[in-house]
Amino acid sequence: MPDSPASQTAPMRAPAMVSPDQIRSLFAQAMSDMYRAEVPLYGTLMELVAQVNATTLQADPALAAQLQRNGERARLDVERHGAIRVGTAQELATLRRLFAVMGMHPVGYYDLSVAGVPVHSTAFRPVDEAALARNPFRVFTSLLRLELVEDAALREHAARILADRQIFTPAALTLIERSEREGGLNEEHARQFVAEALETFRWHGDATVSHSTYQALGDAHRLIADVVSFHGPHINHLTPRTLDIDAAQAQMHARGIDAKAVIEGPPRRQCPILLRQTSFKALEEVVRFPADGEGSELGTHTARFGEIEQRGLALTPKGRALYDALLAQARASDAAGSTGDDYSARLQAAFAGFPDDYPTLRREGLGYFRYALTAAGRADPRAVASLPAEAAIAAGLASADPIVYEDFLPVSAAGIFQSNLGGGEQRAYAAHANREVFEQALGGAVADEFSIYARLERASLEALGC
């Protein structure tokens, strides 16, 4: 496949350099292959999703055409997101540089402490349209917040353990520097980079701490044990994108997969919005812990699971405020949040207040849309340019398709964390959003997701001449 041209802001790249998009595609494929070998149930999930998607597209030609028009059809089969959790600012800052080699940049800030998980997070992902169409691979990345651990001795012990580990291979670090210095990597270096980067995300069945330390960390929070006790930030799930998550969920149950009870996010609708997610429970895996004295001791750890997601319309701040209010309304009547038996009924009822047809969503400014000329519009572009966008649509000269949401939802993410850490525990942390501290650790700002969608919408309108 041809490389996309070098970005204008990057230093001049020699012609032999491969594009960041190409490196990301190689990496996403390598991660998927590795995870399928490590967690075979993930392979089952991929097959199931491919089947559901094929059936959905066959039954809904309008949806198939919409995906085709918007460059989403080709990416659907390779689309994934993954998640990792790191322990120190230094680890996060180096990840930022590692992902940048693959054209993945931090977008959004998520505070999960409000939901009882002592982390804050961002998503590394491609940002511009061509890169997303090429391969939208994203990694939800969380930074542990040891400052939320009350026990000072345990906090310091954990910090010491983390300070002693190196989660990147020397060759990966060298290749990151090379890419920064030279403005990219050639094909041989790109392949080496992918192989070396993969090492950071691999599962290690041998812990770095004794079983008693692991347990003490886990008693503070299971997530702390997961981050601190291992050689690196193992990828904890990979998530394919389905076009019908209810069908995929039913399939999981039919195949006896231990799926989460409810789907996180908005309810089923005619016009999907944002993101709906479900997962299968984390596997219990055997781990070898070094003994305090000599030898080692076997134990288990649950961290790695599989997830499925369905993506829909990206909402404007106004649409998002409505979403947050209706979700809070559905959850408020049940302290257990999204676990109650009648939760889906309550969710459906609450969301009756959210318009469910694209023209209304667009006219009320609830979502972002991509405008394009129809065949009639292409035949007479000057007629389009003289009309306001709404009139061009009414006259059949232009179309407006939903811009897909590429990001995450903090309440859903917390639900996914909780269902997969095992132990059904709830911790209460006071709200501690601290974006500045996160960006300082990251060594750069996180992009604002709303401005990215707004820019895409504006660019499509400008291209119409409206």
Query: Which residue ranges make up the site for ligand OOG (CB under 6 A)?
Result: 83, 85, 140, 142, 236, 277, 307, 408, 412-413, 416-417
Tell me the closest approach of the beta carbon of residue 51 to ligand OOG, in angstroms. 22
19 or 418: whose CB is closer to ligand OOG?
Answer: 418
Tell me the closest approach of the beta carbon of residue 307 to ligand OOG, in angstroms. 6
- Which listed range, 14-22, 182-190, 231-239, 319-327, lies at the site for Ni ion (CB under 5 A)? 231-239
How many residues are present in the chain?
A: 466
| Partner interacting with residue 80 (select from ligand OOG, Ni ion, none; CB below 5-8 Å by kind) | none
Secondary element (H or E) of residue 358 = helix 358-363
| Partner interacting with residue 122 (select from ligand OOG, Ni ion, none; CB below 5-8 Å by kind) | none
- Binding-residue pattern over the window 189 to 228 for Ni ion, x denoting contact by CB under 5 A: ----------------------------------------
Contact 349, 381 (CB under 8 A): no
18 or 416: whose CB is closer to ligand OOG?
Answer: 416
Angle, alpha carbons 420-341-48 (nearest 5°) = 55
Tell me the closest approach of the beta carbon of residue 82 to ligand OOG, in angstroms. 8
Span 72-111, contacts to Ni ion by CB under 5 A = 83
For CA atoms 239, 241, 247, 251, give the dihedral sign: negative
| Partner interacting with residue 412 (select from Ni ion, ligand OOG, none; CB below 5-8 Å by kind) | ligand OOG
203 or 214: whose CB is closer to Ni ion?
Answer: 203
Q: From start to end of 12-56, where are the E strands? A: 17-18
Tell me the closest approach of the beta carbon of residue 138 to Ni ion, in angstroms. 9
Contact 227, 87 (CB under 8 A): yes
User: Can you tell me whether residue 448 is helix, strand or coil?
Assistant: coil
Strands 138-144 and 80-86: what pairing? Answer: parallel
The two structure tokens encoding residue 403: 């811009």
Secondary element (H or E) of residue 345 = helix 343-350
The type of residue at 173 is L
142 or 208: whose CB is closer to ligand OOG?
Answer: 142
354 or 408: whose CB is closer to ligand OOG?
Answer: 408
81 or 221: whose CB is closer to Ni ion?
Answer: 81
- Binding-residue pattern over the window 134 to 163 for Ni ion, x denoting contact by CB under 5 A: ------------------------------
Tell me the closest approach of the beta carbon of residue 90 to Ni ion, in angstroms. 25
| Partner interacting with residue 142 (select from ligand OOG, Ni ion, none; CB below 5-8 Å by kind) | ligand OOG
Contact 367, 315 (CB under 8 A): yes
Distance from the Cα of residue 267 to its chain's centroid: 19
Backbone angles phi, psi at 208, to 5 degrees: -100, -5
Q: Is 354 left (phi over 0), alpha (psi -120 to 50) or beta?
A: beta
| Partner interacting with residue 236 (select from ligand OOG, Ni ion, none; CB below 5-8 Å by kind) | ligand OOG
Tell me the closest approach of the beta carbon of residue 142 to ligand OOG, in angstroms. 5
Picking from 266, 296, 281, 98, the residue whose alpha carbon sits closest to that of residue 196 is 98
Binding footprint of Ni ion, residue count (CB under 5 A)? 3
Residue partners of 38: CB distance under 8 A and separation at least 6: 202, 203, 304
Backbone angles phi, psi at 239, to 5 degrees: -130, 110
| Partner interacting with residue 214 (select from ligand OOG, Ni ion, none; CB below 5-8 Å by kind) | none
142 or 229: whose CB is closer to ligand OOG?
Answer: 142
17 or 413: whose CB is closer to ligand OOG?
Answer: 413
- Binding-residue pattern over the window 239 to 258 for Ni ion, x denoting contact by CB under 5 A: x-------------------
226 or 307: whose CB is closer to Ni ion?
Answer: 307
| Partner interacting with residue 417 (select from ligand OOG, Ni ion, none; CB below 5-8 Å by kind) | ligand OOG
SS3 helix, strand, coil % of the chain, rounded to 5?
A: 50, 20, 35
83 or 409: whose CB is closer to Ni ion?
Answer: 83
User: Can you tell me whether residue 298 is helix, strand or coil?
Assistant: strand
The two structure tokens encoding residue 363: 């006219």
Picking from 149, 122, 286, 145, the residue whose alpha carbon sits closest to that of residue 204 is 286
- Which listed range, 225-233, 248-256, 307-315, 382-390, lies at the site for Ni ion (CB under 5 A)? 307-315
Locus of tokens 């060298």: 174
Tell me the closest approach of the beta carbon of residue 235 to ligand OOG, in angstroms. 9
Picking from 56, 61, 62, 59, the residue whose alpha carbon sits closest to that of residue 76 is 56
Secondary element (H or E) of residue 20 = helix 20-38
> Which chain residues interact with Ni ion by CB under 5 A?
83, 239, 307
